[in-house]
Structure 1
Amino acid sequence: MAVADRYRQSPSRCSGPDILRARKTLWTLIFFLVAVLPFGLTVTGTLAIEADYPPVGAMEEVDGVSLHYVDVGGSTTKAPGSLPVIVVHGASGNLLEPFYSLGKAFDPGQRVVFVDRPGHGWSERGGEASADPERQADLVAGLAGQLGIQKAVFVGHSLGAAVVAALAVRHPDLVAGLVFVAPATHPWPGGVAWYYSVAATPVVGDLFAWSISLPAGEAMMEAAAKSAFAPEAMPEDYLQRTHIRMVLRPSEFLANARDVAHLSENVTRTSKRYHEIKAPTVILTGDHDSVVYPSIHSLGLYRDIAGSRLVVLPGAGHMLHITHPQAVVDAVREVIADAAQVAGAS
């Protein structure tokens, strides 16, 4: 039999229809691996994180936004001469992050409220406007009012300091004193980490958050946290006790990224009014902070707020509320004493 005849009698296994079916199967597999599988893993991972870290405090609705908070000492006898303290956490965190070290650091009877910023922890986001520290400040002020707090000392760490500064500008009657911890409050040159920019981009950011942000974040989290503490050591139980993995949930990842990506432009507007702040103020900064620029933010607040006090902690990094909680407590005591003098003189 001729070779040509044998081919006609035994059709090739790689005929045109077979090739098309193989290509379709291949592209289906690629689509599943690239899109469906990461999405499914993200949903599963998010549900697991939320099951591992349920809410630890109470919820209060403020201007249509449900805020999660922990009120320490709210129903106990107050320490003599004390004022309520409200603590606002920074980026990539939640209320348990400052509560980790400050929850039991204050005097017995001292009322301290820790709040999840909008879109973080178990607080609702409340729309895209909540990326602005001014909007977050209004919500925190509303929470204070609903908790019956008429005057308080506000403590803000890092990005939370921008919220506290905005609150002092917009709600001065509520502010008895301010403590800024490693603040990020002023515009700075340059940008932010690439993943914040990507996540803050419409459409692309959502795809990024629902695909690779959770597994990539899991892989990078410990190293990133250690770099925030540097040159000081990160406590071994820090990641678990503070529930930091919650920031890897797509909704919170996007909220956090947009807070950070738009911070410089937002504080450009608000920082022009910092000179209006009259409340007693202490600014804490580490001389080895590599996360924010103390020369821009801490010195900027010291310049802008008349009568403020700047405390530079030698050898300290960015996580001062964890590594130097007593310094934060001492600063709060100082502004409470100063506020009492101001109230007595008025």
Structure 2
Amino acid sequence: MFVDRPGHGYSERGGPQNDYPDGQAAAIAKLMDEKGIKRAIIVGHSFGGAIAASFAVLHPEKTTGLLFLSPATHPWPGGVAWYYHVATAPVIGPLFRYTVALNAGMTMLKPATVSVFSPNPMPVDYIDEAGPALVLRPSAFLANSADVVNLNDYVTRFSPRYKEIKTPTVIITGDSDDVVLANIHSKGLADDIEGAQLLWIHNVGHKPDYAVTGLAIGAIESIAGKPRDLQTLAREAELEVQVTSQP
């Protein structure tokens, strides 16, 4: 089951509790109840890493295991880009979201997406198939901006609780990720969660779900109890990345 963050994709934003990862984790827990899903392997990429970690702490009875992909989970230096703060401002924010953010965002959509994948190639059909332009809609841009603006304070407060996580955990991160600092977040998770496996992949950026898809699938299978040598799979994935990245 794939779940939009509230206010993203085609989902509604809901109440102010969804401005924070614990509120979004609660929304997932409620959805699982409605769908009759008692337990699940929770997979979180980027911001979704904070949601997945919060879910495991707050809803351990529903958590079979965790897979983190380039997660954002710990306090970091430097804050966030200025436009997230402008987008959430009470007066100028709506004007900014409906004009500057929308028009400039469409102009920058392809180079920004290429940068997220870098140094790995962006799939040629990604923008058409994945719909990243959806985040530029004024309501979605506000939801994402609120998420990002609130995240650092939230993980500063909540990350000490990650040590409570006892479920099987795999973390996949690239050493060339310029979006989320792997040395802070992924290594921080590996230190916090007892028994977590950290798979550090050379020459991979912020999208290991695309760059090393087979490894991510193998990690899910391993968490589910199937015999998988993840370290060997990681090294094989690195070799494949080297081949596909060559000009």
TM-score by length of 2: 0.89
- Counterpart residue number, 1:318: 206
Cα shift readout 1:74-118 (whole Å, capped 9, x = no counterpart): xxxxxxxxxxxxxxxxxxxxxxxxxxxxxxxxxxxxxxx001110
Unaligned 5+ segments in structure 1 are: 1-112, 339-346
- Stretches of structure 2 lacking an aligned partner (at least 5 in a row): 227-247
Q: CA deviation at 1:193?
A: 1.5
Question: Which residue of 2 is the match for residue 254 of structure 1?
Answer: 142
Question: CA-to-partner distance for each residue in 1:189-215, whole Å, 9 max, x for gaps?
Answer: 111112112112222222211222111
Question: How many angstroms apart in 2 are the aligned matches of 1:142 and 1:129?
Answer: 14
Q: What does residue 116 of structure 1 align with?
A: 4
1:291: which partner in 2?
179
CA distance in 2, matches of 1:148, 1:127: 23
1:245 aligned to which of 114, 119, 133: 133
Larger Rg: 1
Query: 2:235 is matched with which residue?
Result: none
Task: State yes or no: 1:152 paired with 2:40.
Answer: yes
Is 1:202 the counterpart of 2:93? The answer is: no
Aligned letter for 1:214?
Answer: L
TM-score by length of 1: 0.64
Aligned to 1:180, the other structure's residue is in SS state: strand
Aligned counterpart for 1:219 among listed residues 98, 103, 107: 107
Question: Could you say what secondary structure the match of 1:115 adopts?
Answer: coil
Distance 2:125 2:92 in 1: 34
Identity of aligned residues (%): 49
Between Structure 1 and Structure 2, the one with more helix by share is: 2
1:266 Cα offset (Å): 1.0
Distance 1:142 1:132 in 2: 16
Q: Secondary structure at the match of 1:262?
A: helix
Distance 2:196 2:108 in 1: 37
Whole-Å Cα distance in 2 between the matches of residues 117 and 311 of structure 1?
26
Q: CA deviation at 1:135?
A: 0.1
Q: Which residue of 1 aligns with 2:167?
A: 279
Equivalents in 2 of 1:150, 1:217: separation in Å?
40
Amino acid at match of 1:119: G
Tell which deviates more after alignment, 199-208 or 302-311: 199-208
Aligned partner (choices 123, 126, 140) of residue 235 of structure 1: 123
* Residue type at the aligned position of 1:179: L
1:227-269 Cα deviation digits (max 9, x unpaired): 1111111111100101111111100011011111111111112
Corresponding residue for 2:195?
307
Matches within 5 A, 1:6-25: none
Q: In the alignment, which of 70, 73, 80 is matched to residue 185 of structure 1?
A: 73
Moved over 4 A (4+): none
Give 3-state SS (helix, strand or coil) of 2:173's partner: strand
Task: Compare relative contact order (CA 8 Å, sep 6+) and give the higher one, 1 or 2.
Answer: 2
- 1:136-147 to 2 correspondence within 5 Å? 136-147=24-35
Query: For residue 330 of structure 1, what is the aligned residue in structure 2?
Result: 218
| Residues in 2 aligned to 1:203 and 1:253: alpha-carbon distance in whole angstroms | 15
